[in-house]
Amino acid sequence: MSIQRADIEKLAELARIHVNEDTVTATTLGINRVLELIDQLRAADTTGIAPLANPLDATQRLREDLVSETVDRDALQAAAPAVEAGLYLVPKVVE
């Protein structure tokens, strides 16, 4: 399995990562090397083995439904570039 330059460009756009003319070739090669490793893993015989969603042999712990967090909005918003009327401000997004 290998991917092409066009795949990298599309993924980069979806992930909001900037790749330019200089880096796209190297990135394509690098990711293809990772995919070769994955191909080796896929070659292993997994007949009769249930797929694993997580390598830990453990079960998700559950939390009681209690309100345990107190929100210090001012402290949390101190890290934000722009706030107003309690809202985080971001570049305009209208679909």
Partner 1 sequence: MSWETVIGLEVHLQLATRSKLFSGAATAFGAAPNTQACAIDLALPGTLPLLNKAAVEMAIRFGLAVDAEINPVSVFERKNYFYPDLPKGYQTTQLAHPIVGPGHLDIELADGREKRIRIHHAHLEEDAGKSLHEDFHGLSGIDLNRAGTPLIEIVTEPDLRNAEEAVAFAKKLHAIVTALGISDGDMSQGSMRFDVNVSVRRPGEPLGTRTETKNLNSFRFMERAIAKEVARQIGVLEDGGRVLQETRLYDGDTDSARAMRSKEEANDYRYFPCPDLLPVHVAPALIEQLRASQPELPDARRARFVAEHGLSDYDAGQLAADTPTAHYFEAAAKASGDPKLAANWLMGEIAARLNSTETAIAACPVSPAQLGGLLQRILDRTISNAIARQVFDALWNGASDADAVIEAKGLKQVSDSGAIAALVDQVLVANPKQVADYRAAPDDKKAKMFGFFVGQAMKASGGKVNPQQLNALLAARLNG
Binding stretches for partner 1 (CB under 8 A): 10-11, 14-16, 53-54, 56, 58-69, 71, 73, 76-77, 82, 84-95
C-beta closer to partner 1: residue 41 or 62: 62
Query: Do residues 12 and 19 make contact, with C-beta atoms less than 8 angstroms apart?
Result: yes
Phi/psi region, residue 16 (left: phi>0; alpha: psi -120 to 50; beta: rest), is left
Q: Which is nearer to partner 1, 3 or 87 (CB)?
A: 87
Minimal distance, residue 23 CB to partner 1, in Å:
20
* Count of CB atoms situated within 10 Å of the CB of 91: 5
To the nearest 10°, report the CA torsion of 18, 23, 24, 25. -170
Q: Smaller CB distance to partner 1: residue 22 or 69?
A: 69
Least spacing, CB of residue 61 vs partner 1, in Å: 7
Nearest approach, Cβ of residue 71 and partner 1 (Å) = 5
> Judged by CB, which is closer to partner 1: 49, or 62?
62
- The angle that helices 21-43 and 5-14 make with each other, rounded to 10 degrees, is 100
